[in-house]
Amino acid sequence: MAATTTAGGGTPGEGPKIVWNQPQQRFETEDKKAYLQYALRDGGTVMDIVHTFVPPSKRGLGLASHLCVSAFRHAKTNSMSVVPTCSYVSDTFLPRNPTWNSLLYSEDLRSHM
């Protein structure tokens, strides 16, 4: 069953509605044309963000960032850490939004457990 989240925090005018498509492991826009794909690792405690896609007709609207915020909020709410495999996440989103760095997965932390 898919859950619905709003990237902007739920207030109209703050951003597009982003839908969590749990069976397909995606966060996506309502029209399903823009999405963020992830894979779960370590028994569901790690979210590996593997791909972000926004079609050319929807680029420049901030959709990729809204998708990332939804994914990171989901990870935070569910006590997950994040692996930013997707180059958009690691090279663009995180440098622009360093507050999310606290959720990043670290092999160093795991090896000391």
Active-site residues, by number, are 86
CB 65 within 8 A of CB 49: no
CA gap 47, 61 in Å, rounded: 25
- HSE of 63, CA atoms in CB hemisphere, 13 A: 23
